[in-house]
Amino acid sequence: MRNLLLKNLTLAIYAIVFTTLFSACSGSSTQQAEQKQDSLSTTQTSMKDYIKEETKEEREARMQWWKDARFGMFIHWGLYAIPAGEHKGKVLEKGKIGEWIMNSLQIPVAEYEEYAKQFNPTKYDAKEWVRIAKEAGMKYIVITSKHHDGFSLWDSQVSNYDVMDASPYKKDILQALADECKAQGVTLCFYHSIMDWHHPDAQAPHYPEYNTDKKQNPNFNRYVEQYMKPQLKELVEKYDPAVLWFDGEWIPEWTEPQGKELYNFVRNLKPTIIINNRVGKGRKGMQGMNEYEDAAGDFGTPEQEILSGKSNGLPWESCMTMNDTWGYRKDDNNWKSAEMLVHNLADIAAKGGNYLLNVGPTAEGEIPKPSVERLAEMGKWLQVNGEAIYATKSLNNFKEGETIRYTQSADGQYVYAISLKWVGNQLNLKNITPKEGSEIKMLGVDTPLKWTYDATKGLTIEIPKDLQAEAKRPCKYAYTFKIEGTEKQ
C-alpha cells in the first residue's frame, strides 16, 4: 500500500471491528467481522492443532519434495547491503556479519532508516537470480522477506518500512522473484525474522543493544498480533511460499508456546507449508538440532556447520555462507573453493540433509561474481552427479574412510560411492556388496568399469588409463561410482 492514510484507515477499520467483536461477544457478530478477526486474533476457534493431529505419514508426505530437493539458495538482501560493512567511516570488525551492522555498530533507528531512502537496486534482475540458482542445481530459494533490521522487501499492508513505501525503488522485490520462480520452476520460500530492531513494540527501544537478553519489550505481543502475524498472512496469501524459515527466536520475549502457536497459525494459513525449528525455542545453539522432544518445527537448522553424522529422525538443513557474511560486505573476500562447496554438498547428502547455500547481493542488486562463479561450478558438477544427490536415501554407514561418501537411490537398487578425491588406478570399497554380474559405472562415463569382488578384500573397481588425465574426466572435485548392490550388513 502506497499511502500512509490508507494504512491508518485500515488500522482504524480493524480497531472498529475489534471493538464490535468485543461488544458483541454474545454471538451476534457478523460473518464479515469474523473473517476480519481471523487475520488478527491468535485464538481462532477454527484453528487446527497440526502439531498434535498430523500423523507421521502425513508429515513425511509433506516433507518429501523438500528432502528430495537437497540443495537450495539462501538470499540475504536488505538495507544492510548499502553500508556493506561500513557505516559513517566505521568498519565492522573482521568476522562480523554484514546484516548485523545496525546492532554491531549501534546505529540508532532513525539513522539506519536513512538507508531506506537510498535503496534503489536498479540492477535487480529476478530472472537472472533464478537462472543462477537453477543452473547451480538449486531447487528452491529462501529469501529474506524481513531480516532483524525490520525492513520488508514487499509492499506490506501493515508497514511503511518497506521497499514500496520507504525506498525510491518502489517495486515489489518478492513479487518479481515469485513470478520468475514460477516461470523457471524453482520453489520460493521466505526467511522471516521474529526479532525486529525497527519496530517500537519489538526490539527498537533496546537501543543501543538491540540484541539483548537483558530487556523485554512489554508490548511485544502487540507487535506479534498486529504486525508480525499480519505480515506472515500477507506473505503466505500473496506469494504462496513453500517454506517459512524463522530466525531471531532467541530473544527473551519469545517462548515455546508462542512458537507452537505461530507454527499452527502458519499451517492453518497453508497446511502444506514447511516451517523450520526456529519458530520455537527448541534449537540447540548453532548446531541447530532440537534440545527437547516436542519442539515446534519440521526441520533442524545447523548454521555454518554440518552435522557430524546422520540425524536421529528430525530432517535437517545446513545453512552456510560462501565467504564469511550473509548480507553483502564489500571487504569480505574469504571465499570457500568450489571444491569445498561440492564436498560439503556430498557430505550433507550422505548424512540425509539439505544444503542451503547463501548469496548476499549488492545494494545495486547483483549477486557477487565470486558467488556466481562457484555456483556455476556446482551446477556443472551436479549435471554429471545429480543422480547421486537428489531424491536419494542414506545408508547406515554414510561414509567409508575420510574420502568416500555414500548415498542410495530411492528404490534401494543402486548405491552411489562419491569419492572426494581422484582415486588413481583402483578404488577399493569394503562396505558394499555388488550384485553379481552387474555393471559399475562412473557417472558421466559411458563405458562400464572392470571390477572384482571378494568377501574379504571387498569390491575393487579399476579406473582406466584414459580417465587418469584431469582433462579427460567427466567432472572436477568429486567422482561418483554407481553400483548395483547393497550395503554390507
| Contact footprint for ligand H79 (CB under 6 A) | 76, 97, 99-100, 247, 250, 285-286, 303, 319, 326
Tell the residue number behind the cell numbers 553424522, with chain if given.
309
Q: Tell the smallest beta-carbon distance from residue 288 to ligand H79 (Å).
A: 9
Residues 120-139 as b/e (b if ≥16 CB within 10 A, e otherwise) read bbeebbbeebbebbbbbbbb
Q: Tell the smallest beta-carbon distance from residue 100 to ligand H79 (Å).
A: 6
Q: Tell the smallest beta-carbon distance from residue 268 to ligand H79 (Å).
A: 26
Smaller CB separation from ligand H79, 248 or 485: 248
Q: Tell the smallest beta-carbon distance from residue 247 to ligand H79 (Å).
A: 5
Q: Tell the smallest beta-carbon distance from residue 129 to ligand H79 (Å).
A: 18
* Pairing status of strand 458-462 against strand 440-442: unpaired
The C-alpha atoms of residue 148 and residue 152 are separated, in whole angstroms, by 10
The torsion defined by the Cα of 316, 328, 80 and 289, in degrees rounded to 10, comes to: 10
Smaller CB separation from ligand H79, 319 or 432: 319
All three cell numbers of 288:
541447530
Smaller CB separation from ligand H79, 80 or 119: 80
Which of 292, 298, 296, 353 has its CA nearest to residue 320? Answer: 353
Tell me the residue type at 396: N
Q: Tell the smallest beta-carbon distance from residue 157 to ligand H79 (Å).
A: 25
Which of 421, 417, 410, 413 has its CA nearest to residue 458? Answer: 417
CA–centroid distance for 439 within its chain: 38
Smaller CB separation from ligand H79, 234 or 247: 247
Residue showing the smallest CB distance to ligand H79 in the complex? 250
Q: Tell the smallest beta-carbon distance from residue 303 to ligand H79 (Å).
A: 6
Structural contact between residues 132 and 61, judged by C-beta atoms closer than 8 angstroms: no
Smaller CB separation from ligand H79, 102 or 388: 102
Number of H helices, E strands in the chain: 13, 18
Smaller CB separation from ligand H79, 76 or 267: 76
Tell me the residue type at 476: K
Which residues fall within 8 angstroms of residue 25, CB to CB, at 6 or more apart?
A: none
Smaller CB separation from ligand H79, 183 or 286: 286
Structural contact between residues 158 and 226, judged by C-beta atoms closer than 8 angstroms: yes
Q: Tell the smallest beta-carbon distance from residue 286 to ligand H79 (Å).
A: 5
Q: Tell the smallest beta-carbon distance from residue 344 to ligand H79 (Å).
A: 16
The C-alpha atoms of residue 308 and residue 287 are separated, in whole angstroms, by 10
Smaller CB separation from ligand H79, 248 or 434: 248
Smaller CB separation from ligand H79, 209 or 466: 209
The torsion defined by the Cα of 280, 284, 289 and 290, in degrees rounded to 10, comes to: -50
**Tally of CB atoms within 10 A around 410:** 11
The region that residue 347 occupies, defined by phi over 0 for left and psi between -120 and 50 for alpha, beta otherwise, is alpha
Smaller CB separation from ligand H79, 212 or 403: 212
Q: Tell the smallest beta-carbon distance from residue 304 to ligand H79 (Å).
A: 8
Residue 478's Cβ-count burial label (10 Å; 0-12, 13-18, 19+) is buried
**Tally of CB atoms within 10 A around 30:** 12
